[in-house]
């Protein structure tokens, strides 16, 4: 019997490495005993296994395995290894046989994990506390059913990027300082704050958004089970609001709706400049750009940088804090990671043009810091005037859109990066393009293993770029 101990109960990378070694050793699933725990195990002889085997699996196996690994069922490792063993040993179409008992059970586990993730993103409520430095810190308590904490980190860092926060659970904790995520061991609920002065605001918001005409107690209990209520400040209002629902509905039906309020459209302070004839003229004209309100708070316009005869254009989202101060694109932490990835992929940055979909830094002030704030669709569309000028002057062989905002600027729609990344396509402007992640995405990942894995994928995307535009190859050392 081969005893295997998984140290991180939610680590797909650790599970993947072990299973590749088990398959290399030709150890069948019934001969493997799976356990979890961070402590050393005298009977765990995984180190004696051979080097990992190389093999391919259907594309749908990866998302299934990554979800199931987060399930709390202690048999999840054995079940996934059995599935993998059967696929590797000839059952390549197994993932399309929904009636198979093993696959059926794993799909139910996947559904449970995704539902738990949804509940966490919906029902986490932060309470304000005073940090050691005297500033604001927000703390939330949640009790997930599965090992989903690290999986949820990206959602919360994107949604609450401007806050310093902690999410406490019995399984582990997440801390966000505005730049990176730190993980720690689980804590008891007593360490979480029980209330704060923001709770009346939550109740006011919930009362104002509650629609009595659509009140359905059975559906509400299904979507918001009572076990979550003790952490929701608005839950105390639910019985009262349900009792009032019928009377409020009649009142709504008998009240004449007010006229909609329309905010005045932004009027540029200066007319659009004439079409520039070179990048230098375009950069000079953009320095005085007032096409959208972002110019009011930014230090300066951050225009693109690189040779006009470049055969490739890399387009990011917008300048960050350091770019806004320096007046140059991709010079901050994300830019440094971008440079490192270009070098590893064999691309000479001096031969490429780098720019952003939006030329002014959009941020939210937090004390002395300026926290990045994602540009909206209107700001991307307005600033596309400058991006189109850059593309028209350079006439590149390939455009690389780094992240969702850059992809939207070219595709005219929201793009799922994971579905469309790493493949050369034709953009609506008629030019060839490739979509991949923005380097800042790599900086936000919750642990070193995930960062290393995604960084390697990013470098592979850049190598695809090099294959299609070999002129940008860096000279041999």
Looking at the fold, whether 244 and 310 belong to one and the same domain comes out as: no
Looking at the fold, whether 285 and 389 belong to one and the same domain comes out as: yes
260, part of any domain: no
Looking at the fold, whether 149 and 228 belong to one and the same domain comes out as: no
Asked if 86 and 187 touch (Cβ cutoff 8 Å), the reply is no
Instruction: List the CATH number of the domain containing 307.
Output: 3.40.470.10
pLDDT at 42: 47
Looking at the fold, whether 161 and 14 belong to one and the same domain comes out as: no
| 266 against 327, higher pLDDT | 327
Looking at the fold, whether 89 and 164 belong to one and the same domain comes out as: no
pLDDT at 156: 94
Confidence of residue 477 (pLDDT cuts 50, 70, 90): very low
Looking at the fold, whether 289 and 371 belong to one and the same domain comes out as: yes
169, part of any domain: yes
Highest mean pLDDT: which range of 100-114, 409-423, 445-459? 100-114
Looking at the fold, whether 16 and 114 belong to one and the same domain comes out as: yes
Number of domains in the chain: 4
113, part of any domain: yes
Tell me: pLDDT of 34 over 90: yes
Question: Of 397, 387, 400, which Cα lies nearest the Cα of 434?
Answer: 400
Question: Of 454, 459, 432, 457, which Cα lies nearest the Cα of 442?
Answer: 454
pLDDT at 168: 95
Cα distance between residue 1 and residue 28, in whole Å = 10
| Tokens matching residue 149 | 């904490």
Segment 158-179 mean pLDDT = 92
Task: Give the residue from 191, 215, 234 where a domain finishes.
Answer: 191
Looking at the fold, whether 375 and 411 belong to one and the same domain comes out as: yes
Looking at the fold, whether 328 and 366 belong to one and the same domain comes out as: yes
Name the average pLDDT for the chain: 88
Segment 75-87 mean pLDDT = 96
pLDDT at 244: 84
303, part of any domain: yes
Q: Would residue 280 be called left, alpha or beta, if left means φ above 0 and alpha means ψ between -120 and 50 degrees?
A: alpha
Segment 44-48 mean pLDDT = 67
Looking at the fold, whether 110 and 135 belong to one and the same domain comes out as: no
97, part of any domain: yes
Asked if 414 and 323 touch (Cβ cutoff 8 Å), the reply is no
131, part of any domain: yes
Tell me: pLDDT of 275 over 80: no
Task: Give the residue from 99, 118, 137 where a domain finishes.
Answer: 118
Segment 410-420 mean pLDDT = 91
258, part of any domain: no
Confidence of residue 217 (pLDDT cuts 50, 70, 90): confident
Tell me: pLDDT of 248 over 50: yes
pLDDT at 310: 94
102: containing domain: 2-118
| Tokens matching residue 20 | 């590749």
342-396 per-position pLDDT tens digit: 999 999 999 999 999 999 999 998 888 899 999 999 999 999 999 999 999 999 9
Task: Give the residue from 143, 174, 191 where a domain finishes.
Answer: 191
Segment 402-409 mean pLDDT = 94
Q: Would residue 26 be called left, alpha or beta, if left means φ above 0 and alpha means ψ between -120 and 50 degrees?
A: left
- Chain position carrying tokens 């190389």: 54
In three-state secondary structure terms, 428 is coil
Looking at the fold, whether 344 and 451 belong to one and the same domain comes out as: yes
266, part of any domain: no
Q: Quick one: what percent of the chain has pLDDT higher than 90?
A: 65
DSSP state letters, 211-273: -GGG--HHHHHHHS-GGGGGG-GGGGGHHHHHHHHHHHHHHHHHSPPPPPP-PPPP--SSPPP
Tell me: pLDDT of 228 over 60: yes
Looking at the fold, whether 325 and 412 belong to one and the same domain comes out as: yes
């Amino acid at each position: 019997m081969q005893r295997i101990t998984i140290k991180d109960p939610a680590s797909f990378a650790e599970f993947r490495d072990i299973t590749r070694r088990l398959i290399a050793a030709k150890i069948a699933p019934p001969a493997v005993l799976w356990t979890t725990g961070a402590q050393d195990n005298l009977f765990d002889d995984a180190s004696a296994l051979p080097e990992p085997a190389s093999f391919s699996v259907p594309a749908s196996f990866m998302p299934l395995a990554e979800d199931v690994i987060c399930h709390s069922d202690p048999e999840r490792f054995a079940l996934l290894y059995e599935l993998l063993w059967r696929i590797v040993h000839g059952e390549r179409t197994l993932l399309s046989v929904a009636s198979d008992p093993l696959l059926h059970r794993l799909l139910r586990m996947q559904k449970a994990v995704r539902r738990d993730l949804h509940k966490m993103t919906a029902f986490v409520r932060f309470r304000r506390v005073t940090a050691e430095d005297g500033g604001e810190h927000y703390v939330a308590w949640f009790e997930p059913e599965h090992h989903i904490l690290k999986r949820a980190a990206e959602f919360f860092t994107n949604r609450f990027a401007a806050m310093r926060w902690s999410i406490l659970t019995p399984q582990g904790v997440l801390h966000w300082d505005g730049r990176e995520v730190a993980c720690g061991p689980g804590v008891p609920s007593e360490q979480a704050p029980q209330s704060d002065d923001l709770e009346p605001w939550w109740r006011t918001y919930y009362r104002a958004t509650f629609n009595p005409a659509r009140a359905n107690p059975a559906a509400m209990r299904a979507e918001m089970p009572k076990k979550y209520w003790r952490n929701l400040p608005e839950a105390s209002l639910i019985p009262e609001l349900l009792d009032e629902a019928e009377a409020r509905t009649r009142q709504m039906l008998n009240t004449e709706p007010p006229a909609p309020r329309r905010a005045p459209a932004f009027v540029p302070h200066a007319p659009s400049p004439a079409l520039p004839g070179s990048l230098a003229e375009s950069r000079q004209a953009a320095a005085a750009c007032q096409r959208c309100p972002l110019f009011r708070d930014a230090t300066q316009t951050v225009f693109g940088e690189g040779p006009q005869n470049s055969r490739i254009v890399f387009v990011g989202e917008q300048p960050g804090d350091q770019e806004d101060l320096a007046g140059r694109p991709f010079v901050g932490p994300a830019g440094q990671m971008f440079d490192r990835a270009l070098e590893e992929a064999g691309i000479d940055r001096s031969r490429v043009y780098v720019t952003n979909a939006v030329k002014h830094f959009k941020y939210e002030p937090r004390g002395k810091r300026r926290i990045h704030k994602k540009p909206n669709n209107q700001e991307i569309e307005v600033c596309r005037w400058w991006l189109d000028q850059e593309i028209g002057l350079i006439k590149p062989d390939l455009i690389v859109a780094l992240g969702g905002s850059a992809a939207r600027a070219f595709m005219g729609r929201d793009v799922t990066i994971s579905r469309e990344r790493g493949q050369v396509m034709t953009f609506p402007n008629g030019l060839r393009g490739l979509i991949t992640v923005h380097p800042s995405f790599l900086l936000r990942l919750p642990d070193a293993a995930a960062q290393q894995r995604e960084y390697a994928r990013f470098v592979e995307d850049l190598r695809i770029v090099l294959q299609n535009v070999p002129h940008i190859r860096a000279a041999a050392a």
